Amino acid sequence: MSTDATSLRIVAPADGSLLATVPVTSAAQVAEHAADAERVFASGVWSGLAPRERAAALLRLADLMERDGATLARLDSEDAGKPITECLEGDIPGAIESIRYFAEAADKLYGAVAPAPGNVLAFTQREPFGVVAAILPWNYPLAMAAWKIGPALASGNCLILKPADATPRSALHVASLAVEAGIPAGVLRVLPGTGPVTGAALASDPIIGALSFTGSTRTGRSILKAAADSNLKRVSLEMGGKSPQIVFADGLEFGEALVDGLITAAFMTQGQNCTAGSRILVHESIHDDVVARVAEAAAALVVGAPSDPATQIGPIINAAAADRIMAAVRHAVDAGATAAAGGREVDVLAGGRYIAPTVLTDIPAGDPILTTELFGPVTTVQKFSTREEAIALANATDYGLAASVYTKNLDDALATARGVQAGVVSVGNYSEGDLSSPFGGWKQSGFGGAEKGLRAFEQWTREKAIWIELQGQG
């Protein structure tokens, strides 16, 4: 992606070719859209519908997304450089499932009755903010859009969606499908643009009541500050990660599932994933065996063009990211680390940057690669001798998004899951849970309402307590 003052050039990470040019939404245009969205909300054409009516429209949207699934997968694969098979089998079905899940939950949200005196009826209800916004990342363009669209619209809001600079096309397509599904015009708006212009305007807009952001910690800080300096809009942040995968001495009992889990966590989407298992912590008794197996599996992954169904590892999003990743790998190797696999770039298509899946061992203590989020196909391996040491290593980062634990010992599993400072911990596998399970980070990985499950509605609604005193009763 490159930009001038008025347009974005969408460039394919695969080969640097120009895919499309889309306009940048200016700050003035953001203000106009927010004001118009406020009018749409107040009209009641969406907010005034019964929850089941909104659900029906969202289910129609999901059906249309399924109809156009191949197109949506192609757009995300081209824009983000994601392997097409990953998009077809994971991202797009997941996005469709998200819309259906939140649609079906729209009429299943209840308030509560408070234990008030006998002459009082006291209860709570949740109400939409009105106009809300979401700022999306480029690594899962449509999957992350669906996490926002589903609960925001199901609860009656008008949503302004800003896709990432590099990957706007699938969200724009879904916006057209929303109109086809019968969702009133103006309820879902997709505004392409840059972070410093379009994103900053959304964060500062005085009409927008809530904003959900998925992306870098640096950008999240600026959004939080802008929200504080404007109208104190509710902000939910899901940001970076440096997720540990902890393998205890009995970890090899998982067999092939262990290596499959470690590899998937480390290298899915070229490691450009906020929950990527970029740190493998292994008990010293099986360290060498695990390193050998992981290195062999990493070396066997197919690096190729994202349009090839056989490709498992596609290109890095852009040259700047590839340079940063390779600089970190070279720094670690120069300091004494060993590349058990990868550690180099691969020639695939001219104009694209492809990095071989990389497994680093013997990393010197204190090397930045152990604590810095690389967002690339690189994982490090460290030894530990005790559970306490494993937990300490896992927590030795500013991030706290996810972790995986491999052991069949219940004491080790539960104590480690409780001890690791992360919002999501999986045991015996790598998983973010399904749609019913909350998702969110700790520490500098973010905060706010959960992204999934019924708690997701808390991001997009506010609670009101109503106290009715009945006359003539005592």
Query: Are 187 and 155 in contact, with CB atoms under 8 Å apart?
Result: no
Query: Are 239 and 274 in contact, with CB atoms under 8 Å apart?
Result: yes
**Amino acid in the structure at residue 313:** I
210-214/234-238 β-pairing: parallel
Query: Are 259 and 248 in contact, with CB atoms under 8 Å apart?
Result: no
> Which region holds residue 405: left if phi is over 0, alpha if psi is between -120 and 50, else beta?
beta
- Any idea which residues carry the catalytic annotation? 238, 274
What is the maximum alpha-carbon separation in the chain?
83
Cα gap 98→202, rounded to integer Å: 24
399-400/442-443 β-pairing: antiparallel
Helices first, then strands: H and E counts in the chain = 15, 22
Cα gap 296→96, rounded to integer Å: 35
Q: What single string gives the DSSP state of each residue in 260-301?
A: HHHHHHHHGGGG-STT---EEEEETTTHHHHHHHHHHHHHHS
Identify the bridge partners of residue 464 per DSSP, sorted by sequence position: 125
- Residue 449 per-residue DSSP state: S
Q: What share of the chain is helix, strand, coil (3-state, %, to 5)?
A: 40, 20, 40
Residues near 70 by Cβ (< 8 Å), separated by ≥ 6?
Answer: 88
CA distances from 444 to 68, 228, 399 (A): 37, 18, 5
- Residue 163 per-residue DSSP state: -
Cα gap 420→424, rounded to integer Å: 10
Provide the terminal-to-terminal Cα distance of the chain, rounded to the nearest Å. 69
Q: Give me the count of residues in the chain.
A: 474
Cα gap 219→51, rounded to integer Å: 34
**75-91 b/e with 16+ CB inside 10 Å = b?**
bbbbbbbbbbbbbbebb
Cα gap 451→346, rounded to integer Å: 36
Distance of CA 277 to the CA centre of its chain: 14
Any long-range contacts for 116-120 (C-beta under 8 Å, 24+ apart)?
A: 116/467, 118/473, 118/474, 119/469, 119/470, 119/473, 119/474, 120/467, 120/468, 120/469, 120/470
Q: Of all helices (H) and strands (E), which one includes residue 120?
A: strand 120-128
